[in-house]
Structure 1
């Protein structure tokens, strides 16, 4: 608090600078010296120095510079006119103030009350007196902040400074117009009756900060004035009473009287109230003595050299820097409270716990956080550890704290589960450390102490804290914080290099170490069987830290159960064994949480549609869950055009109606998919870390144990929930679109079909869809099983001649053909075709499907004439019914062209492939189907000896495929085209080139389909033959042995393909 103005006011600024220089000794990097950063409230009267320091936030050196400029500009020129009492020109004052404010804020007309939304730290006030009402010396406060009771005049900074400087002997009074009422009010300087406004300031602070504590009250005067006395008057003075007027003015502007009153008020509170006022040299200095400004610094220097002044400054600086609890704001205005001495409950501060003795792993993450927190740079650092409940976020944080414990003067551990718990913890810290009684006191104190501290906000899982937690993290050069949370969105709060740390699961090595440590086992004592079981168990547990500890605790206390037996129990009685394991874990960690408790807290935060999404995901494969799955299922049409049959799903099924009803909420006008709504639902799930988004694969993952837990809380029966998931997947498969993404989608959805079937789901109402996909994926046995079931169910429910039943038979026939059972396949296909011809109209799509199926069987058996005849019938039917050129018609032409090639009718094959190629040119030169047609046409040229034409076409294909083959992602039709190029190389005698291309195709198909897919196996066999052709017999034999082994396992020893591979192995 600064009182008094004029030229003498410079002394108070110089004193404050001396204080700030001492402050630098405690905070060496405090540059520049800005008083506003160290005080919560700055006020004064006189020449506006308080406003410079507070409202304008000037560094102390800048404030002194501006003060000197102001004094010279204003007081260097007196008025020539003798009318009135004012000696100096108000115009000069107005201009000088305008220049100063414009330089500081950019706007000469900046308002005194700060803009809405600004922090206005510190709060600032200057004082003036109402000209027509000076009774009781009650001043008017010009504030930088809004108040409801007794508001300040709504004016500019310039007007406020004019008012506080309008001493009647120096300047004329100032009028300020209220913009709301248009009424004017006149003011004179605050020095008249309020030269030392500290009593009013303390009353204001009490109103602004109820329940808070004050650490330091700093009052700086503008120098002692002459002693106030009534001298013996002369005769002239007796007549005009001039001495009475002088005495009254001195009494009105006396600030030391108020200072003495304050000294008495705070005499029982040591080191709270500090008063500094230069006592020598200032007595005879007039307010406008600008020419004596240089002398003032000498007077201040002499004053500061006094030992008692130096000691007082040292105590003041410590109070400002450390902010101890000194006195309640309730008491600073001299008020006696009604309940003095009332006992307050004792407060105990929660200590930061040590990490569990079982802590293992996460070394990389620990080093990352340690580096971030112990950086050389100063400034606020916030590290955020986020991830699924139970993965070890808190333990990682505690381990980091333990490893860096020597770096911190204070570690403040806060239960951040709610806003209330955060406030209570910070309040306890304030009370215990005697810096206040509220959480704001703790924050304010931490922001100003010159020591390193670490704030730990543990379990910040309340979503409202994402936007609100920053207000509870103190700022400052030594500020550091760790937040642990399940909310990925909390990462936005992080500040610093590598300050976010996502935990998902432990790596296998750390997981094994944690399991053995908890179970009290030694790794070197494990048998090979135990080690294998331990690795498998970790995979079953998804390397989830808490689940691993639970498993280890069970083995620790149930001595008869080792790793192998525990895994057997886990696989057969998962929920029971995990529950018991949690019970044993509490014997190790008394306050340890169960997995159910950990995840239930997150689940309860979800919106209802998000819970429904989680239920649908419960039986999917836990990885790579893509939006396309739900989008295709939602768009699944009722007349499945690619199968040419009506709806294949029982639309009266409760599961079907439930899934369709839920998915309909993602469709907007005209049936368009609403990606935004889907993203919102998934954001709700990821916000609690129950589901995570894989940015690399653009899909969603759910932890295997979370998924398993979700199955136990679904409100419907487990069988119904599983059937809902199966319906979702089957509907997506019925939405086939003629695009290049269809194959990618099949690969994505295949693990989900496997997951559903792995839950002892027999296909239910969806065997046709699942059988179809098994057929595409080369899983012949599974396709046969599902197709048989579908045919049996359809026959029972719909009858033997129903088109849906016939479609199931066609799928069964194709699956049998692929598995080498061509006779059974032919029998079923022939029966189906006969049934269709008998009961369906000519050209019915199901009849056509039956013909093409039987044609494929004949071609596979080498019965080319019969295969050709059936395929020609199909095309003639299309022509007779005037069906336009469409993908279905084009596919039939491709089948016939393949038959021509297989039956060595090169010219017919060339003619038909040329037609197909011309039809597909509109697709673009990079389309897989166009390249497929070009490759076959090139083969036709080569087989007819037209190698130049084949060469030109092949070069064009090679150029395009090289451009399209990017990394591991390549369309299967592209691989077929490259295989045909290799065949062309073989025909032309380029055996090495053929071998190299086939090797590339083999590796690509292994990555794309897997090593045991029939297409992959056939490619491996072709590579073996390429090795034989170039004389590398050892490599050929090795590959053929591999092929035979796979074929026996996947097909059978009697399968024709297996027998062919054995023959080629025996006679290379």
Structure 2
């Protein structure tokens, strides 16, 4: 430092602080800038491990792509793994690859400045405050191929940098003409935030077969058949992170001698799946998935979706099945409709849920997200119960509601949940899903018996639906036990002419009829019919059902002319009151045609059975139990070759639906055998 009469000057390097009082004529300070935070732009090759599954097509497209592409989806779905696979392929071809961590502003800016230095920008240029502009000018001038990855760019506000991501003036600029590839991985695939330039690629869950291959890649020893691995992969929602966790768990068990394993510790796919359902194991032992969900919810809150977590917890109370959005109408979620819809869209974009808007709007929660946020069953039961108050408007919603009505039943669920469950069992039976109906009916019947009183109408209704489901599945012995006990209890608790008691007696008599005890069933049907005629009159639906059953008893006993007379009376009333294609009318038409066949009027029987078969096929499809019944009866009046072909088709369907040893399947096989040439 020098001083003089004319002024002062300072030259050279210095450290600390220089304070000059008075007039300063000349001051020059040159000092090396402080060292920047250390960053790396090398790809994380150490994360390479098992083969990448289920992404071959997208990997090939990205390998040949240029411009800016965005991989978005649920945390743990494999975005980084796919980006690393792209980097691996391009690097092997000699292309330069830069990898920038984009979780926070410091690493993002530091990484992009490091890339800029690699591209020849000087420190003075970087210090001029136009790094983003200069970087993208250099990238646009590079010959291809090359790859720049911005990994984990979940906070899109960081990508705005000095300008705006959507406007093309931020750290990412899709409008630049590039010969190489910029690949961004993120949870957030909201198109408006990205602008019109980037190509957005949603990364979804792996299908079951590919998920099974991920498990097999990680399990060193044999852990069970591929079918079990696929079931486990589906239960894990096809999430690669969860598949990896489960596979490594099974591998760790397999590598230990048996005497070093905890009793009951799952060592196979099937055992792991069972333990997962029982809550004995978790795919999130280290809390990784919980942190992923928390980060996603924080991102939603930051984007202004304050109700997203509450909505997520509400959805998690439903079964692991698509939820019709219409059921949210009666749920008082205290979310304005517009915000509710935007929250659903946001959950969909982050991969936490899947929103389907084609046809009936549905939302499906990822199964592992559902596990993490399970709750709010009581509010949902109330919502579903309100929907069920107007069943005539549900129509095609029934199949969608059934799994939710049967989910989460227990002693603490509200009364409305049991009401919905009983109706769900009836729906399964009516739709011909007989195995599922019996399983559900058994659970609901036992559950209502434990949760409610024995004389509660729901307890009795559940027992009735149980017996009816068993009857439809031709498990006559079990059905008779259930319905006989129900009738005995109803006789003790209800008046003799109570309508429910009469229905239970009718159903018990139907079991007797179908199992061959026709003398007993005829007496019971006749007594029930007399009561119904007195209570409801001849044209009531319940009266007509029992009247039909009386006629069928006459037919089974060989009194065909009497049976035909009674069926004519029933059919005329049903056609007038219900229409020719109502389920009950079609049943009467089918059975009347069989009586005509047995009386020798084959032509009339064939014509009517064709009409009934076609009506049932139109309404229920070719393999509904009632359609198969009509097809079977139609085959009995066809020429031998055509009968043989139709019976073979019916046998194939019944074998698949009921099993080869079911009485109905066996009877179909015997009928087919009788058509074979000797």
Give the TM-score normalised by structure 1. 0.48
Cα distance in 2 for residues equivalent to 1:554 and 1:767: 38
- Among 36, 39, 42, the alignment partner of 1:352 is 42
Kindly state the Cα deviation for residue 867 of structure 1 after the two structures are TM-superposed. Answer: 0.8
Spell out the pairing of 1:23-38 with structure 2 (5 A cutoff). Answer: none
Worse-matched range after superposition: 722-731 or 598-607: 722-731
Cα distance in 2 for residues equivalent to 1:504 and 1:940: 55
Cα distance in 2 for residues equivalent to 1:337 and 1:441: 33
Please name the residue that 1:550 is paired with. Answer: 245
| 1:596 equivalent in alignment to 2:290 | yes
| 1:900 equivalent in alignment to 2:600 | no
Contact 1:412 1:455 in 2 (8 A): yes
- Pair 981,503 (structure 1): closer, same or farther in 2 beyond 3 Å: closer
Kindly state the Cα deviation for residue 530 of structure 1 after the two structures are TM-superposed. Answer: 9.4
Kindly state the Cα deviation for residue 739 of structure 1 after the two structures are TM-superposed. Answer: 7.2
| 1:459 equivalent in alignment to 2:159 | no
Write out per-residue CA displacement over residues 727-764 of structure 1, whole angstroms, 9 at most, x where no aligned residue.
6666666653387637xx34x4454466535xx77877
Spell out the pairing of 1:625-704 with structure 2 (5 A cutoff). Answer: 625-627=322-324, 631=326, 660-662=331-333, 679-693=341-355, 699-704=362-367
Please name the residue that 1:75 is paired with. Answer: none
SS of 2:206's equivalent in the other structure is: coil
- Pair 773,507 (structure 1): closer, same or farther in 2 beyond 3 Å: closer
SS of 2:203's equivalent in the other structure is: strand
Please name the residue that 2:165 is paired with. Answer: 468
- Among 1007, 1012, 1022, the alignment partner of 2:667 is 1022
Kindly state the Cα deviation for residue 935 of structure 1 after the two structures are TM-superposed. Answer: 3.5
- Pair 412,761 (structure 1): closer, same or farther in 2 beyond 3 Å: farther
Write out per-residue CA displacement over residues 922-946 of structure 1, whole angstroms, 9 at most, x where no aligned residue.
87xxx76665554344334434433
Please name the residue that 2:645 is paired with. Answer: 996
Give the TM-score normalised by structure 2. 0.71
| 1:390 equivalent in alignment to 2:76 | yes
Please name the residue that 2:632 is paired with. Answer: 982
- Pair 955,403 (structure 1): closer, same or farther in 2 beyond 3 Å: same
Write out per-residue CA displacement over residues 314-335 of structure 1, whole angstroms, 9 at most, x where no aligned residue.
xxxxxxxxxxxxxxxxxxxxxx
Cα distance in 1 for residues equivalent to 2:198 and 2:115: 29
Kindly state the Cα deviation for residue 577 of structure 1 after the two structures are TM-superposed. Answer: 6.0
Cα distance in 2 for residues equivalent to 1:995 and 1:494: 64
Spell out the pairing of 1:294-693 with structure 2 (5 A cutoff). Answer: 341=30, 343-347=32-36, 350-362=40-52, 365-366=55-56, 368-374=58-64, 381-405=67-91, 410-417=96-103, 422=108, 425-430=111-116, 433-434=120-121, 436-437=125-126, 438-450=131-143, 452-462=145-155, 468=165, 471=168, 472-474=172-174, 475-489=176-190, 500=201, 502-505=203-206, 508=209, 512=213, 517=218, 521=220, 526-527=221-222, 538=233, 541-551=236-246, 560=256, 564-565=266-267, 578=282, 582=286, 594-604=288-298, 605=300, 607=305, 609-618=307-316, 620-622=318-320, 624-627=321-324, 631=326, 660-662=331-333, 679-693=341-355
Cα distance in 2 for residues equivalent to 1:621 and 1:434: 56
Kindly state the Cα deviation for residue 395 of structure 1 after the two structures are TM-superposed. Answer: 1.4
SS of 2:165's equivalent in the other structure is: helix
Cα distance in 2 for residues equivalent to 1:552 and 1:982: 48
Kindly state the Cα deviation for residue 504 of structure 1 after the two structures are TM-superposed. Answer: 1.0
- Pair 738,957 (structure 1): closer, same or farther in 2 beyond 3 Å: farther
Write out per-residue CA displacement over residues 664-722 of structure 1, whole angstroms, 9 at most, x where no aligned residue.
869xxxxxxx7x776544323212111234689975443433332224xx6xxxxxx45
Aligned length, in residue pairs: 601
Write out per-residue CA displacement over residues 174-193 of structure 1, whole angstroms, 9 at most, x where no aligned residue.
xxxxxxxxxxxxxxxxxxxx
SS of 1:737's equivalent in the other structure is: helix
Cα distance in 1 for residues equivalent to 2:608 and 2:414: 49
Worse-matched range after superposition: 902-911 or 953-962: 953-962
Question: Root-mean-square deviation (CA), in Å?
Answer: 4.8
- Pair 419,337 (structure 1): closer, same or farther in 2 beyond 3 Å: farther
Cα distance in 2 for residues equivalent to 1:740 and 1:786: 23
Gaps of 5+ in 2: 1-24, 556-562
Cα distance in 1 for residues equivalent to 2:631 and 2:243: 52
Cα distance in 1 for residues equivalent to 2:244 and 2:460: 54
Please name the residue that 1:820 is paired with. Answer: 477
SS of 2:182's equivalent in the other structure is: strand
Contact 2:69 2:182 in 1 (8 A): yes
- Pair 806,958 (structure 1): closer, same or farther in 2 beyond 3 Å: closer
SS of 1:504's equivalent in the other structure is: coil
Kindly state the Cα deviation for residue 1029 of structure 1 after the two structures are TM-superposed. Answer: 1.4
Please name the residue that 1:935 is paired with. Answer: 590
Cα distance in 2 for residues equivalent to 1:406 and 1:805: 69
Kindly state the Cα deviation for residue 400 of structure 1 after the two structures are TM-superposed. Answer: 0.9
Kindly state the Cα deviation for residue 402 of structure 1 after the two structures are TM-superposed. Answer: 1.4
Cα distance in 1 for residues equivalent to 2:622 and 2:494: 35
Kindly state the Cα deviation for residue 952 of structure 1 after the two structures are TM-superposed. Answer: 3.3
Contact 1:385 1:483 in 2 (8 A): yes
Kindly state the Cα deviation for residue 570 of structure 1 after the two structures are TM-superposed. Answer: 8.3
Write out per-residue CA displacement over residues 400-432 of structure 1, whole angstroms, 9 at most, x where no aligned residue.
111112667653433344678655543443356
Cα distance in 2 for residues equivalent to 1:626 and 1:1006: 32
Gaps of 5+ in 1: 1-335, 583-592, 636-659, 667-673, 715-720, 1034-1068
Write out per-residue CA displacement over residues 35-86 of structure 1, whole angstroms, 9 at most, x where no aligned residue.
xxxxxxxxxxxxxxxxxxxxxxxxxxxxxxxxxxxxxxxxxxxxxxxxxxxx
Spell out the pairing of 1:722-737 with structure 2 (5 A cutoff). Answer: 736-737=391-392
